[in-house]
Amino acid sequence: MHVQDTTPAAPVPFYRQTYVQVLVAIAAGALLGHFAPAVAEQLKPLGDAFIKLVKMVIAPVIFLTVVTGIAGMPHLNAVGRVVLKAMVYFLVFSTLALIVGMVVANVVQPGRGLNIDPASLSTREIAAYASKAHDMTLTHFLLDIIPDTVVGAFTSGNILQVLLFAVLFGVSLTLAGERARPVVVFFDALTAPVFKLVHLLMKAAPIGAFGAIAFTIGRYGIGSLSNLMYLVATFYATALLFVLVVLGGVARATGFSIFQLLRYLKDELLLVLGTSSSEAALPSLMEKMERAGCEKSVVGLVVPTGYSFNLDGTNIYMTLAALFIAQATNTPLTLGEQVALLLVAMVSSKGAAGVTGAGFVTLAATLSVVPSLPVAGMALILGVDRFMSECRSLTNFVGNAVATIVVARWEGALDRAALGDALANRAGESGTPSIIATQGKQP
C-alpha cells in the first residue's frame, strides 16, 4: 500500500521543470553542433560524464529496491511468479517487435533501388562490432549473469549480476526471519538518501543532454541523414506505430492511456532522447513506477530484467536494418531465411545486454547467420546508426514502463487509484519527484 502525501505541492516555475531545461539544452546543443561542429565535438565528455554518474547509482538503486521489496513479500513463491510472468510478457512482445520490423521492411522496402555492390564497402569501421558479435553466445550470456564476486556484481556494470545477487540476498533475509529484521530496516531507511542522491544527479541532466546532442550533431551532421533519410524515417515511423498501436492497445486493455503514460514520463523520455541512453533514466523510471501504484517488489524485478530482455526498439531495428541491407545490396532472401533471421535475433538481442553499441553489435550477430547476406552492408548504416539509437532507446524505455504496469496488474500488485492519480498528474509535479513512493511499503 502506498502512502500518499496530502500536502499540496507548490507550483514549480516552468523554467525549473526538468523537461523544459532538457528541451532547451537539446535545442542549444543541436544548434551548436550544426554551426560550430568542431567545438561541439569537444563536448562529448559532458554527456559521457552524466551517464557515468547515473550508472554509478544504478546498482544500489536496484539492490535496495529488490531486497526491500522481496523482504516485504508475504510469500517467497511470489518472486518466481513475478519473474515468470515478466519473461512471458518479454518473449511475446519482443517477438512481436521483430515481426513488426520485418513486415514493415517487406512492405516499405527502404533499401530498394540503392543497388550497392557489397565489394565496394569498407569493413574496417565495422570490424570491432563484428568481433564483439562472436562473443555473444547464449552460454556466454548466461554465465556472465553470475558475478565472480559479490563486489564484482556492483562494479561490472552488468545490471543482471546486481539483480541476481539482490534476489538471492532478499530471499535469504526472508528465510532468516526476525534475526534479519534490523538489516531489512536499515536497507529500507537507506533507500531514502539513495533516491535523494538520484534527484541531485538529475539536476545535471540538461548539461548531459546538451553535451551528448551537441557531439552527435557536430560529429555526424544533419547532412549525413540525407542519403538514408528514408530508412531513418521508416524506423521512427515503425517505432511510433508500435508504441501507439501495440503498446497503446496493451495499455488500454490494462486500464490506462499510453498518452497519459508518455506525459507522465516526459522528463525521462527527453533525457533518453538527449543522451541516447535508456539507462540514464532507469533510476527515475523505477521510482515513478512505484509512485504510479506498482509494488516495489514488482518494479525491482521487472524494470532491471526488462532492460536486458525487453528491447522492443532494438528488435524492430534489427529486422528492419537487416532487410534494408539485403534490399540495398540486391540480396534476395527467402521466407525461410527471413524466419531464420528472426529466430536468431530473438536470442542475440538478449546476449547483447550490457554491450556498448548493443544494437549494432546485435545486428552483426544476426546477419552472420545468413551466409548470403553481406555483413559489410552494415557500413551503409553506420553513419546514421547514432540517429537511430535515440529511437531504439526511447522505444525500449516505453516498452519497459508498460511491461511493469502490466505485470503488476497480473500479479494483483497494482494500486489503481495511485496509477490514476499519477497519470492524471495529481500525485505531485512530474519534474520534482518525491521519495514517498520508495517508502510506501514497510517490511
**Domain residue extents for the chain:** 14-439
* pLDDT value for 260: 93
Q: Which three cell numbers stand for residue 69?
A: 521489496
pLDDT at position 350: 60
Q: What is the pLDDT of residue 440?
A: 38
pLDDT score of 429: 43
- Residues in contact with 360: Cβ distance below 8 Å, sequence separation at least 6, in sequence order: 126, 129, 378, 382, 385
The per-residue pLDDT for 122 is: 53
Query: What is the structure's pLDDT at 235?
Result: 92
Residue 424 corresponds to which cell in the numbers above?
492524471
Q: What is the C-alpha radius of gyration for the chain, rounded to an integer number of angstroms?
A: 22
Report the pLDDT value the prediction gives residue 232, as an integer from 0 to 100: 86
Which residue type occupies 418?
A: A
pLDDT single digits (tens) 3-17: 444 454 556 676 677
Query: Which pLDDT score, from 0 to 100, does residue 430 have?
Result: 40
Beta-carbon count within 10 A of 240 CB: 13
Q: Write down the CATH number for the domain with range 14-439.
A: 1.10.3860.10
pLDDT by residue, tens only, the chain of 443 residues: 444 444 545 566 766 777 778 888 888 888 898 888 889 889 888 888 888 888 888 888 888 888 888 877 767 777 788 888 998 999 899 889 989 998 999 998 887 777 776 666 555 555 555 555 445 555 666 677 788 888 888 887 777 788 888 888 888 888 887 888 888 889 888 988 888 888 888 888 888 888 888 887 887 777 666 667 888 889 999 999 999 999 999 999 999 999 999 999 998 898 888 887 778 888 889 899 999 999 988 898 888 888 878 888 888 988 888 888 888 888 888 888 788 778 777 766 665 444 445 566 667 767 766 667 777 777 777 767 777 888 888 999 999 999 999 999 998 889 999 999 898 875 444 443 433 333 334 33
